[in-house]
Structure 1
Amino acid sequence: MGAAPAGGVEADGKTVTSRIAPGVQYWHFDIPASHGTTRAHVLDIDLNDPRTGVGLLYPGEVGARSAVSTLADGAGAVGGINGDFFNISEGQHPGVEATGAPVGPAVAQGRALKGAVPDGQRFGPAMPPGVTTQAVLGVGFDRRARLDSLRLEGEVRTPRTRLPLGGLNQYALPVGSVGAFTSDWGSTSRVRSTCGTDTNRGAPCSTDTHEVAVRGGRVVQSADTPGSGPVAAGTTVLVGREAGAQALRKLSIGDRVHEWHRLVAARSHVPFRFALGGFPVLRGGAPLPGLDSVTSAVRTAAGISADGRRLLLLSLDGSPEFRTGLTIAEVARTLKGLGAQEGFSLDGGGSSTLVSSATLVARAPGAEAVTVRNHPSGGAERPVANGIGVFSRG
């Protein structure tokens, strides 16, 4: 695996390379782009190396945020990068708390943390045609990185009916559905999950809501307004809106309820060990049609080699000298030039961070903490919902 940009990327001869850990290289280089020169920072990860792995960084709760460097240090990572787009503000819903929860699905250590919000409820730039919020990048138990989509399947069974599960630890539920909130959600208010519609994030919050808490297979609590506060381990809070609320309202304390859920991959034959959301920009070595070639910004992205054994984590520099950034189309071309066959866009702007042993972050050999390797465009690290951590046993 090379430690410098592959052929096809103009780096102006300014590539700087260092070894972070076994199987992990860090380098940065300059890219002459349509809006001016920008600087890219890259963690180059060899998944063939048994001492090296990647996993989900998150604050321990879906509805929470933290800086990438804090997440990386807390998990013992040697490097990391910010991840999915997230529910950052709620100006259209006065009095409603922004949850900080990510848009897409998330899997940590093989366990489903959350499902994808409806397409119309996402935050972030426009996705390519045909792409949905279910799109993920992840690594399977076979140690191969891949792109896929993860669909939530689940059901709520009561003595009277069976209801399809519409959400799992999500800041937005489909209209008319029932969603499940577990201890993974955290203490953030669940009210936001009943605001907006499947096609309009800013639509008013529903006036027809209900929630029940289920523990030991029985209803133990019921309320017309979604609540807040931690969900105890072994308890599931079911939140319904419209038709979903009407179904939950028929339940009484002590009624039997069984809820189950899983995330189902559209293409992967090997379960994901970790996965997070964003959207694809490169497939089979070709940029997806319809990528934005006009709007330039500081970006974060990931690239995967043809065999899934090499993972590139890329974050652009947000310092004034390089803040012109890249368009999404230029990100795809850059990843292809680095040797990637698959490419995936992650959150950008003030969220873009890369850190090493260590928002790209990385740890220098022998250092006790990671260092932010790029310059976040806001001048300091923005707390984010999740990220990709790089780990080494070396």
Structure 2
Amino acid sequence: MSGRAKVRVRVGGAAFAALGALAGSLAGASAAGADDGGGLPYTQVEQVAKGVTYGQFTVDGAKGPVTGYMLTADLSDPRVRVNLLTPGAVAARAPVSQLADAAQAVGAVNGDFFNISEEHAGVTPTGSSDGPEISSGRALKAAVPNSQRFGPAMPPGETTQDVLGVGVDRRARLDRLALVGSVRTRQGSYPLGGFNQYALPEGGIGAYTSGWGTISRERAVCGSDTARGAACSTDTYEVTVRGGRVTAVADTPGEGAIEPGSTVLVGRDAGADTLRTLKVGDRADVGERLAPSGSHVPYTFAVGGFPVLRDGAALAGLDAKTAAVRTAAGFGDHGRTLYLLALDGTAAADPGLTVAEVADVMRRAGADDAVNLDGGGSTTMVTRTPDAPAATVRNNPSGVAERPVANAVGVFSTGR
């Protein structure tokens, strides 16, 4: 039987040398591949860079055959690292290939769901992601309230605080990152309900820094604790703090660049009442951090996404009916191997997978834990060999072109 062989493999931290041999054998093989009972049926495998491989496969979903692409990174290799790619501001978007090229990543997939559209008339979509973000060890934003997120339904018990992260020990983990912060004044100390996020809880106070960008902060006071489309609050107040002092106040959320070193506090409802007690010249100190719930190891990277696989088992309540183009990220080998998945977006030929099927694909790839990332028109995988001038888009995005996204998971390698 002629044609390219299908070989099923599981990729782990110790298997990258074998993958190189596999890539060569696939190019000239002529026998039909046997099923080893678990791995993915890769029909193409390439070494992108030292410790980083790319593979293509086809699996049968409930709606028909689906083409998938897997980027695998050996985090135990000191030449390999992972980081969050962003457009330079929390409230901004850019295509994955552009983000990868700017950072010189050797591979990337799109990241978290984001504020892509807006139900509130006259309010500008921010492009900001649902969940927490950490890039190069620096916290960029916290999670929006569960009721205000974009994306498909999460499994029972999961929250917008869920992340996949990589610690300073170079191991990947699933965790939750909660905002811990306060505004300290002479009148008292008040908790922060938001940090550079597009939606605040009712009665909350949010802190915005230069990392937010230039887009209006008005979206922060829209929606409610039960409905994303609920009306925008008209009871708002904004305070600018710099050097421990209030420097400006306003009745409504503003827009435009925030000066580095300044923090803008936005309050809605009871939070607005609290901020109204502050006058220009008053003392005010703002502090915030993202606190992990499951690890004492600081994170160098974290991206929001809801868990679909934990300890080798799919989570209960995963959608097993709705097939769509999807993206996922996971890890195996006790956090030493990272797997990034993107599906093909040509819906006529590739109908997509359900969330439950994505969990199974990640398990077959070798992941023990995984999260679902943004899908549909956002799903994009790119690779770039170290000598290439630009990244190559590997999957077929479902739109006519790459969709600008809020962030991406970038893989780097210093080896050639």
- Report the TM range for the smaller structure's normalisation: over 0.9
| CA distance in 2: counterparts of 1:179 and 1:393, whole angstroms | 39
Counterparts of 1:8-23 in structure 2 under 5 Å? 8-9=38-39, 11=41, 15-23=43-51
> What code does the residue aligned with 2:385 have?
A
* Contact residue 40 and residue 361 of structure 2 kept, 8 A: no
The CA deviation at 1:7 is: 5.0
Q: Give the one of 25, 45, 49 matched to 2:73.
A: 45
Q: Give the one of 43, 53, 58 matched to 2:86.
A: 58
The CA deviation at 1:8 is: 1.3
The corresponding residue for 2:60 is: 32
The corresponding residue for 2:401 is: 380
Counterparts of 1:1-394 in structure 2 under 5 Å? 1=12, 2=15, 3=19, 7-9=37-39, 11=41, 15-90=43-118, 92-355=119-382, 362-364=383-385, 366-394=387-415
* Contact residue 331 and residue 339 of structure 2 kept, 8 A: yes
| CA distance in 1: counterparts of 2:92 and 2:409, whole angstroms | 16
> What code does the residue aligned with 1:155 have?
S
The CA deviation at 1:283 is: 0.4
The CA deviation at 1:324 is: 0.5
> What code does the residue aligned with 2:43 have?
T
| CA distance in 1: counterparts of 2:74 and 2:266, whole angstroms | 42
| CA distance in 2: counterparts of 1:213 and 1:247, whole angstroms | 14
Structure 2 CA distance for partners of 1:222 and 1:256, relative to 1, 3 Å? same
* Contact residue 306 and residue 342 of structure 1 kept, 8 A: no
* Contact residue 94 and residue 405 of structure 2 kept, 8 A: yes
* Contact residue 29 and residue 41 of structure 1 kept, 8 A: yes
TM-score with structure 1 setting the length: 0.96
The corresponding residue for 1:359 is: none
| CA distance in 1: counterparts of 2:40 and 2:180, whole angstroms | 45
The CA deviation at 1:39 is: 0.5
| CA distance in 1: counterparts of 2:36 and 2:375, whole angstroms | 24
| CA distance in 2: counterparts of 1:133 and 1:6, whole angstroms | 37
* Contact residue 330 and residue 338 of structure 2 kept, 8 A: yes
* Contact residue 187 and residue 230 of structure 1 kept, 8 A: yes
| CA distance in 2: counterparts of 1:180 and 1:159, whole angstroms | 18
Q: CA RMSD in A?
A: 1.3
| CA distance in 2: counterparts of 1:198 and 1:131, whole angstroms | 16
The CA deviation at 1:199 is: 1.4
Q: Secondary structure at the match of 1:184?
A: helix
The CA deviation at 1:6 is: 8.1
Structure 2 CA distance for partners of 1:271 and 1:10, relative to 1, 3 Å? closer
Structure 2 CA distance for partners of 1:7 and 1:187, relative to 1, 3 Å? farther
Deviations 1:173-211 (A, max 9, x none): 010011000011000100000000011000000010000
Aligned residues: 385
| CA distance in 2: counterparts of 1:10 and 1:56, whole angstroms | 27
Deviations 1:136-182 (A, max 9, x none): 00100000011100000011011112110100000000100110000
The corresponding residue for 1:358 is: none
Identical residues among aligned pairs (%): 59
> What code does the residue aligned with 1:123 have?
F
Unaligned runs of 5+ in 2: 1-11, 23-34
**Which has the larger share of helix?**
2
Deviations 1:304-340 (A, max 9, x none): 1041000000000112454301000000011111111
The CA deviation at 1:111 is: 1.0
> What code does the residue aligned with 1:294 have?
K
Moved over 4 A (4+): 4-7
> What code does the residue aligned with 1:8 have?
G
TM-score with structure 2 setting the length: 0.91
Deviations 1:336-370 (A, max 9, x none): 11111001100000000000xxxxxx013531111
Structure with larger Rg: 2
| CA distance in 2: counterparts of 1:252 and 1:122, whole angstroms | 34
